[in-house]
Amino acid sequence: MDRSVKPSLVVVGNGMAGMRTVEELLALAPGMYEITVFGAEPRVNYNRIMLSPVLAGEKAFDEIVLHTREWYAENGITLHAGDPVVAIDRRRHRCTVRAASGREVAYDRLLLATGSQPFIVPVPGAQLPGVVGFRDLDDVETMLQAARDGGRAVVIGGGLLGLEAASGLLRRGMEVTVVHLTGSLLNQQLDSDASLLLKGALENRGLHILLSSQTEAILGSEKVEGVRFKDGSECAADLVVMAAGVRPNVALAVDAGLHVERAVVVDDTLQTYDPRIYAVGECVQHRKNTFGLVAPIWDQARVCAAHLAGLGHRRYVQQATATKLKVTGIDLYSAGDIVGGAGSEDLVLRDRRSGVYKRLVLAGNRVTGAVLYGDVSDGPWYFELIQRGADITAFRDRLLFGPTLCEAA
């Protein structure tokens, strides 16, 4: 290879994970690669986490843009927005990607950042007009169009994404019902008591909540008219939002013959089984785990960028994470093992009048999990105790009241 010619880095995916990796790479080794980015959406990179405020009318799209077109140009990055990669050819002497437009670009290094896609519950009627996921700006625009006509919305999924969609549509004037398969909202982050408090608070704000409800069919002939559940009951709907989780977007990797299990398998350097191809973000599987939170994905970006820059001293190590949420103005915090098990015990503080709930899971005089509702100010301190495995024997009786009383003792 002519050493005067820069190696080519092709990034498949113009989302947060891929572009954060490019940012880190530019900081470590500016000008090292000729960088080409392909994105499925006809837009620049934006903060997908902020789609909920856009839906709720709290922010405009311009306010959530992370990289303008000028930024790409200033950094010498060629952006092909609205032209997704449809094939990877790893067999040629110089490997290439091919986009939907037919454009082909050769690569020396390839970064897969294809993210995930919404899980559309496989029931009759799921393809009717008026059924939408909640994954990108097009989905938000579809929901906003429906909300302009008022009417009724059903949101399938009582996780964070579903509750945010429901809250936004409620604020836009729709009558909204949230349907959740299990008996607790946010069951991955909250225990049953905190979930019950959240359900009451959301219902007081005007949401209808149906728990332990399984969708059997989407009703309608030419467009959505309602939802039928497994128990035979029905709910009228002009819009159905599928927010029942996401699946890693791995079709491109599978077609290319990369090693894929639940997601694209990578090692501690974020390298796939093909040493020329790296992957980051929600399309990644590392040591059997997949990822959806920002913190671990930013860690992946730092490690991957270091190796692309030839500074191979970093390794990706999964860290315990805490989840701080805000649902329609209600603060929630969850960290560690909130389920507990044999030998564990709970410390609980419940103040219904002030809307405060705390539950700490203890094992062997150490905090192993924490759930906070309403007042989450002590969350980082509890998380630090979890990470350090700190012995809390000396202040166990004051533990629920936070660090001020405990550290003063």
pLDDT of residue 293: 85
Where does the chain hold its CATH 3.50.50.60 domain(s)?
A: 8-117+247-308, 131-242
Q: Check: CATH 3.20.10.10 for 323-408?
A: no
Cα separation, 109 vs 97, in Å, equals: 11
289, amino acid identity: N
Q: Residue 223 carries which DSSP code? A: S
Facing residues of 131 across strands? 240
Give the integer Cα–Cα distance in Å for 135 and 48: 8
Q: How many CB atoms lie within 10 A of CB 147?
A: 22
Q: Give yes or no for residue 1 having a pLDDT over 50.
A: no
The arrangement of secondary structure in 8-117+247-308, i.e. its CATH architecture, is: 3-Layer(bba) Sandwich (3.50)
Say whether pLDDT at 234 is over 90: yes
Average pLDDT estimate for 173-189: 93
In whole angstroms, give the CA distance from residue 148 to residue 236. 18
Q: 155 is written with which tokens?
A: 């949101």
CA pair distance 102, 386, nearest whole angstrom: 52
Taking only the tens place, the pLDDT of each residue in 117-137 is 999 999 999 999 999 999 999
Class level of CATH domain 131-242:
alpha beta
Is the pLDDT at 2 greater than 60? The verdict is no
Domain with CATH 3.30.390.30 in the chain: 323-408
> Using CB atoms within 10 A of its CB, is residue 16 exposed (0-12), middle (13-18) or buried (19+)?
buried
Average model confidence (pLDDT) across the chain: 93
Amino acid identity, position 92: R
Tell whether the model's pLDDT for residue 32 goes beyond 90. yes
CA distance 239 to 169: 10
Q: Supply the DSSP symbol for 330.
A: E
Q: Cα separation of 169 and 152, whole Å?
A: 9
Q: What percent of the chain has pLDDT above 90?
A: 83
Of 20-24, 52-56, 242-246, highest mean pLDDT: 20-24
Is residue 242 within 8 A of residue 120, CB to CB? The reply is yes
Q: Write the Ramachandran bin of 144: left for phi over 0, alpha for psi from -120 to 50, otherwise beta.
A: alpha
Element (H, E) at 49: none
The neighbouring-strand residues paired with 202 are: none
State yes or no: pLDDT of 239 exceeds 70: yes
Question: For residue 77, which amino acid is it?
Answer: I
